Amino acid sequence: MSDVLWFNGRFTTTDERVLGVEDRGFQFGDAVYEVFKFLRKRPIFLLEHFRRLQQGLQKIEIPVPWDESSFQETIRELLDRTSFADGIVYIQVSRGEAQRAHFWPDDMTPTAIAYSRAFKFPDAAKKERGIRVITTPDHRWHYCSVKSNNLLANALAKKQAQRATADEAIVLSDDGFVREGASSSFFAVKNGRLVTYPLQDCILPGVVRDRVLDLALSARIPVDERPLREAELFDLDEAFITSTTQGVMPISEIDGRIIGNSRRGEVTTRVQELFDELEREAASS
């Protein structure tokens, strides 16, 4: 069954092939994307996702095709046309279509798409059991703070994880610091404190990451935004990742070594409960 697609101001479905072969998103990865979750057809943290999209586009000099109001209106109609209640919306804005050349014309019109897709979010058992992860060198470009379409290194890392029967790859800097997951933010827990990499160009400013930090501070859980050394990974009490699709997901093993007692820890459980409640409130508001 096809999904609802918004393309440059009109609605169609994903059955229609709308992208030109010389679109710069296809040719160069010259595009920014965003993904948000919806429950009962209500978008979760919509404006936070829009603002991150806006910041990424501005950083690489692509005009933003919406303001907040028109973006909300587009998404509202997209979800109204969607036949299922829960899922994700994928958004992509490229620089547009022009004859292939590294230099782009100054008067380009961006190509913008948004489509809804059904998604199976983690169930209670998985959220308690957690996931296995591996570590891998960080081969990504230097502007990971921009959620760009240049995801080849991320895709290779995820495939490496899959082949190791793991769910995620945690990327390490050349000097041995833990940054984030290939498609998630990373949190460690040691002596009751959360540790996560500070916001810099080498990590993505995760929407869920930011909410988790706020929730932790409100719950009086201490937070250290600092680089974590690879050697510290195997002396942690707990660890978890965060993302739009996974929420707060415990990590049971890293590179085949058990973290804590391989069960969801107390701090992770508390953060997970707080975040799940926040999502439920957002879906009912």
Averaged pLDDT, groups of 10, the chain, 285 residues long: 91 95 96 98 97 97 97 98 97 97 95 97 96 97 94 97 98 97 98 97 97 97 97 96 98 95 92 97 89
pLDDT of 119: 96
pLDDT of 268: 98
Catalytic residue among 37, 127, 147, 158: 147
DSSP tag of 234 = G
Dihedrals phi, psi of 161, to nearest 5 degrees: -65, -45
Q: Indicate the helix (H) or strand (E) that contains 281.
A: helix 266-284
Separation between Cα atoms, residue 55 and residue 46, nearest integer Å: 14
E runs forming strands in the chain:
4-7, 10-13, 31-39, 42-43, 87-94, 111-118, 131-137, 168-172, 177-181, 185-190, 193-196, 223-225, 228-229, 238-243, 247-254, 257-258
Q: How far is CA 30 from CA 22, 94, 111, 112, 220, in A?
A: 11, 6, 11, 12, 41
Comparing CA positions, the residue from 245, 238, 14 lying closest to residue 121 is 245
Separation between Cα atoms, residue 121 and residue 107, nearest integer Å: 41
pLDDT of 115: 98
Q: Looking at the chain, which residues constitute the CATH 3.30.470.10 domain(s)?
A: 4-118
Q: Looking at the chain, which residues constitute the CATH 3.20.10.10 domain(s)?
A: 124-284
DSSP tag of 3 = P
Comparing CA positions, the residue from 72, 49, 79, 35 lying closest to residue 211 is 49
pLDDT of 175: 95
Separation between Cα atoms, residue 155 and residue 43, nearest integer Å: 26
pLDDT of 262: 77
Separation between Cα atoms, residue 65 and residue 113, nearest integer Å: 10
Q: What is the pTM of this model?
A: 0.95
User: 151-174 burial, b for 16+ CB within 10 Å, e for fewer?
Assistant: bebbeebbeebeeeebbbbbbbee
Q: How far is CA 165 from CA 57, 70, 168, in A?
A: 35, 43, 9
Would you give the distance in Å from CA 172 to the centre of its chain? 18
SS3 content of the chain, % helix, strand, coil (to 5): 30, 30, 40
Decide if 159 is catalytic: no
First-residue to last-residue Cα distance in the chain: 30
Assess if CATH 3.20.10.10 describes domain 124-284: yes
Topology of the domain covering 4-118? D-amino Acid Aminotransferase; Chain A, domain 1 (3.30.470)
